[in-house]
Structures are given as structure tokens and as C-alpha cells.
Amino acid sequence: MSTSKPGLTEKPEWKALIDHQASLKNTHMRDLFDQDPERFRNYFTTAAGISLDYSKNLITRDTMPHLMALARACKVPEQIEAMFRGDNINTSENRPALHIALRNLSDDPVHVGNDDIMPEVRSTLARMEEFVWRIRSTQWRGFTNKPFTDVVSIGIGGSFLGPKLVSAALKPYWHGRLNCHYVANIDGSHITEVLRHINPETTLFLIQSKSFRTQETLENTKVAREWFLHNGGDEALISKHFVAVTANEKEAIDFGIAEENIFPMWDWVGGRYSLWSAIGLPTALTIGMENFRSLLSGAHAMDQHFKNAPLEDNLPVILALLGIWYGNFWGADAHAILPYDHYLRGLPAHLQQLDMESNGKCVTHDGTSVDYQTGPIIWGGAGANGQHAYHQLLHQGTRMSPADFIIPLRTHNPVATHHAILFANCLSQAQALMRGKNLDEARAELREQGLDEAAIEKLAPHKVIPGNKPSNTILFERSTPRTVGALVALYEHKTFVQGAIWDVDSFDQWGVELGKQLGQDILDRLLASSDDKRTDSSTDGLIDLFRRKHKDDA
Ligand SMILES: O=P(O)(O)OC[C@H]1O[C@H](O)[C@H](O)[C@@H](O)[C@@H]1O
């Protein structure tokens, strides 16, 4: 590494963690639980309505102090301050990352340069409020004067996953007549399937794109517009049915969106952090503005906790450090997000973008190549479904993937004893991962079933479950706007802390650009009347296949 400052792996705190990990290699978590009856209490903490049990981790009383020392050596507290202060922490794009301003419900200013951005944030919220009221109260109607029944949000990436997650998470709070649909993919089947079921007279389109340059979003918007014009609408009626959220007002206007129908976005909000802005309009339209403000208040409560709590009690910091512990010192490549809540089933997809786009980086702020692992592969899905599918790998596979079990204490839908069963499933999975089953236990179990000794010896190794697999359990009262807001903000800040330790820019995403550039060139070749350009034999061969097939079709 050609850096003048000592790199992360040269820090004494890093080296101390390597030694500490070596000292724990032969420790089993079940012994740690047996030795300390207070273990649950010692590793349980609550903030902003979210509780975290992190007792089922490969940690002793020395581990967290070591990790906290690393966080301090990496100036995590200073970096938290810098984020809240509005410093240009997105160094490659020379901008701040101020999603915290979008849910700043205090009277405190938030500055970008010398300007307080809060008046603009508040006035946008007020505009959203008025818009939501006009649609929901049916003051604003479709071109045949019928109230809207459907909202179609067209957007992708950060302009899709966040609002989709939150809208689904808060389904119990949907009230009124509005259905909400999302169109993201450039696969024509996506928009076709949505348009098939809606009526142009009663459909409102929300075009969601920070840049207003994203191919998928613009192409899908063109299709929606054509569909509208061919099904009773005309140019003069577009402004009744098309609304945009963007930081690029000019291109939205050029595209044909009426100026008064454009809600602002700002450079200082990353797409994957934007569900709190007007990008959240699909959510606000379905749950109402009061609930949307509660969502913001939950996130704000987590922001306050993150900003003010000591590192030792700081939920995002604890989660981040545990992730560092496994990714950098135990060789884990992945991290599982396992929501035991039907409404939160979109959380793994949202966190995939949040975490992998933020911390999937290989150079530090100053452009030096890292010599350590950065962001993990985020994966997961709803429990208990996953137990009947991929949990097998968690229990007996050779790879390490720490997991977050996420579950509300109470359900919106108390059906029979379902919630107790769901809760039992969640706890038993975490317990099984922690305890496992050793060879003696496997043998004893088979003996009880009456197997002979030869059969026992044959089968027992297959029934051994190593255990010692780490997990967190994240709990809250119920999936409400406030708790969902706090939960999503918790993961945003966790991601930030990890990026701060790895010294990467968590707010850019240059890696996604190359595919876009090459995609345009390939598209030109697919559609051209002839193609004699050559790049590499695989891409050329596949282009030829497509071209031949479409020539055959024609
Ligand atoms: O909101 P837009 O400008 O349309 O961007 C949509 C998405 O596309 C990009 O390619 C980025 O990878 C995402 O971070 C972004 O959220």
C-alpha cells in the first residue's frame, strides 16, 4: 500500500483484534452461555423502540472493548459529527450526505455550506402534505372526474426499493381507496402486467428519478405515457396524471412533466437514502401524511440516538462492529437479513442496495487500494419460509454468514396462535445456530429412537450441527410507522459506521456506471441494420445470436 498514513490493518487496535480472535478459536458459544447466566442481560440494549439481543455472538467481555477501540482509532465519533454537520463526506462527488435532514423534526438547522436546508425540506413536506390531501380527499381527480384508485410509481434502485419496502411494511396503515403499484424493470413484462389491471381514468403516475436520466425509468415512463394517450388521455391531460420527483427539474420539464407537478430532490441525498424525501410519496399516498411523519419521527429518534449515545450503547455502532468482527477477523463473506414479519419481507432487498452499493468498494477515500475485506454480501428473506430452504446451509454449511433475526413482539394479525409459533421458530433458529448438536447428542438421540449401534455410527455424523454460528435478534413492539422508520435508519447508520472504519466513500456508486456505458454500445449493435463491430468473442457471439433470432422473427 502506497499510503503515508498508517493503513487500517497496521493499526495496533486491528492487530489486537487478530490476536483476540485467535484466542477465541476454540471457544464455543454454548459454553459462554453456560458460564454466564447474565449473558442475555449483558448484551441486550434498546434505543428508539428497537431492542437488540447480541448475546449470541462470538464475543467475550474483552471483544466489544477491542472493537470500540478500533472504532475510536478510526475516528468514528468524529465521522458521525462530520455527517451531521454537513461536511462533504461523499468525497468522490464532493457533497454531504444529509438524509438525516429529511427527518429532522427538531428546530435545529442543517447546513450545506452556509445555507440552512431545513426551510426547503419543510416546505417540500408541506407540499407533499397538500398533494397527498388533494389526492386522498378526491379534490384532485382523473380526466373523467373520477377519483384516483391506483398509483403507479415508476423508478428503480433507490427510487424504488425504499418506498416499496416501507409501503409493504406499513400495509396495515393503508387506508382510503388507493392501490399502489411499482414498475422498475426494463423487462417489458413488468409494466405490461401493471397496466393490464388499471384504468387510465383513475391512475396517477409518479415518475421517481433523482437524475431523470435512468434508462429503465425513462423508457417505462414513455410506455406509460403512450398507454395513457391511447386510452382516452391527451397531451393536455398529462398534467392531471403525471407527477415527478427529481433533482433534475429541467429534464423532467423537457420530458413533458408540468413544472408545478415536480417535487424536488437534492444532491445531498443519495438515492438509496431517499425514501424519506418526496421519493416516499407512494408511501405517503397510501398511509397518509400523518403516518408518513411518524415514519420520519422513528428515523429521527434513531438519528438522535446515533448522534448522542456513547459508542458502547450505540445500536448502529454495535451492529457495525459485529459485522466488522466477522467480515475482517473471522472470514465471513455474507450477512443474512431474516425478517420474521410478512410485512417486512422487502427488507433484505432494500438492505442489499443500501449496504452493497454503499460499501461494495475497493479503494479508500484517497484512492488507495484496500488490503482488507469491505462490505459483505447481503442476502436473506422472510422467516419462517427460509427455514425450509436455505437455513440448511446456515446450520451445516461450511460458509459463515452471521444473521439478523428481526421480529415484532406483537402482530397486526393475531390469527390463532400463529404469532407464538412464528416467534418460537425465530428463537429456535437462533438457538440452534448458537448451540448446535454435538456427536454425543446426535448418538444419544438415535439411541433413543432404537437404532442399533452400526446404524447410529453411520447416521450420527450427518446429524451433527456444529453451532457456534453468530446471530443478532432485533425486536420491536410492532411494525408501526415509527418502528419501521427507526429500523431502516438503524441499518443506514450501521452501514455508515462500517464505511467509516473501512475508510471508503459509502455515498458514491461508480461501479454501476461501466455496465451502463457498455449497455448503450451493445444496444446500438442489437438494433443496427448491420453489425460488424467486434469486442470480445463472448459478447460478439451473444449479440449475433440475438440479431439472428430477431431477423428470423421478422
Ligand atoms: O433515481 P435515479 O437517478 O433514477 O437512479 C436510480 C438508481 O440508479 C443508479 O444506477 C444507482 O445505482 C442507484 O443508486 C440509483 O438509485
pLDDT (0 to 100) of residue 3: 42
Q: Which of 201, 357, 469, 493 is catalytic?
A: 357
Distance CA 265, CA 121 (A): 9
- Ligand 1 test: best mutation among 93, 95, 210, 262, most atoms within 8 Å of CB? 210
- Average pLDDT of the chain? 96
Which residues, other chains included, contact 272 with Cβ-Cβ below 8 Å and sequence gap of 6+? 157, 158, 161, 162, 353, 354, 357, 358
Residue whose grid cell is 398507454 = 227
159 lines ligand 1 (CB under 6 A): yes
**Ligand 1 centroid, distance to 390 Cα (angstroms):** 30
Percent of the chain scoring above 70 in pLDDT: 99
Among 28, 101, 76, 51, residue whose Cα is nearest residue 320: 76
Among 409, 488, 283, residue whose Cα is nearest residue 496: 488
Atom of ligand 1 nearest to the CA of 271: 16
Residue 276 is which amino acid? Answer: W
Q: DSSP characters for 362-415? A: SB-TTSPBPSS--SPEEEE--TTGGGGTTHHHHHH-SS---EEEEEESS-SS--
Among 75, 79, 77, residue whose Cα is nearest residue 13: 75
Q: What are phi and psi of 526, to 5 degrees?
A: -65, -35
153 lines ligand 1 (CB under 6 A): no
Using the Cα atoms of residue 168, residue 174, residue 179 and residue 183 in order, give the sign of their dihedral.
negative
Residue 507, all three cell numbers: 455515498
The pLDDT-based confidence of 274 (bands split at 50, 70, 90) is: very high
Say whether pLDDT at 554 is over 80.
no
Residue whose grid cell is 457471439 = 541
Which residues, other chains included, contact 153 with Cβ-Cβ below 8 Å and sequence gap of 6+? 160, 163, 164, 180, 181, 182, 183, 206, 208, 281, 282
pLDDT (0 to 100) of residue 2: 42
List pLDDT tens digits, range 540-552.
999 999 999 998 7
The SS3 of residue 477 is: coil
Classify residue 107 by its DSSP letter: S
Q: What is the ipTM of this complex?
A: 0.98
Residue 415, all three cell numbers: 390469527
Mean pLDDT for 174-189 is 94
pLDDT (0 to 100) of residue 392: 97
Q: Catalytic annotation on 38? A: no
246 lines ligand 1 (CB under 6 A): no
Helix (H) or strand (E) holding 208: strand 203-208
Residue 100, all three cell numbers: 438525516
Which residues, listed in sequence order, are joined to residue 146 by a DSSP beta bridge?
none
Q: Catalytic annotation on 516? A: yes
What region does 90 belong to: left with phi over 0, alpha with psi -120 to 50, or beta?
A: beta
pLDDT (0 to 100) of residue 1: 41
List pLDDT tens digits, range 367-414.
999 999 999 999 999 999 999 999 999 999 999 999 999 999 999 999
List pLDDT tens digits, range 108-150.
999 999 999 999 999 999 999 999 999 999 999 999 999 999 9
Q: Is the bond into 301 cis (omega within 30 degrees of 0)?
A: no
- What is the per-residue burial (b if ≥16 Cβ within 10 Å, else e) of 174-209? bebebbbbbbbebeeebbeebbeebebbbbbbbbbb
- Ligand 1 test: best mutation among 92, 95, 159, most atoms within 8 Å of CB? 159
Distance CA 493, CA 303 (A): 8
Angle in degrees, 0-180, between the axes of helices 63-73 and 76-85, rounded to the nearest 10: 50
Q: Catalytic annotation on 357? A: yes
Mean pLDDT for 73-98 is 98
Q: H helices within 183-314, ranges in order?
A: 188-195, 215-230, 238-241, 249-255, 281-287, 289-308
Among 248, 190, 252, residue whose Cα is nearest residue 216: 190
pLDDT (0 to 100) of residue 175: 85
List pLDDT tens digits, range 327-365.
999 999 999 999 999 999 999 999 999 999 999 999 999
pLDDT (0 to 100) of residue 317: 98
Distance CA 444, CA 517 (A): 61
272 lines ligand 1 (CB under 6 A): yes
Q: Which of 25, 197, 388, 551 is catalytic?
A: 388
Atom of ligand 1 nearest to the CA of 156: 6
Q: What are phi and psi of 486, to 5 degrees?
A: -65, -40
pLDDT (0 to 100) of residue 70: 98
Q: Whose CA is nearest to atom 13 of ligand 1?
A: 157
The pLDDT-based confidence of 419 (bands split at 50, 70, 90) is: very high
Q: Which of 516, 533, 549, 550 is catalytic?
A: 516
Q: What are phi and psi of 476, to 5 degrees?
A: -155, 170
Three-state SS across 316-332? HHHHHHHHHHHHHHCCC
Atom of ligand 1 nearest to the CA of 216: 4
Mean pLDDT for 139-168 is 97
The SS3 of residue 110 is: coil
Distance CA 478, CA 423 (A): 13
pLDDT (0 to 100) of residue 410: 97
158 lines ligand 1 (CB under 6 A): yes
pTM of the model: 0.97
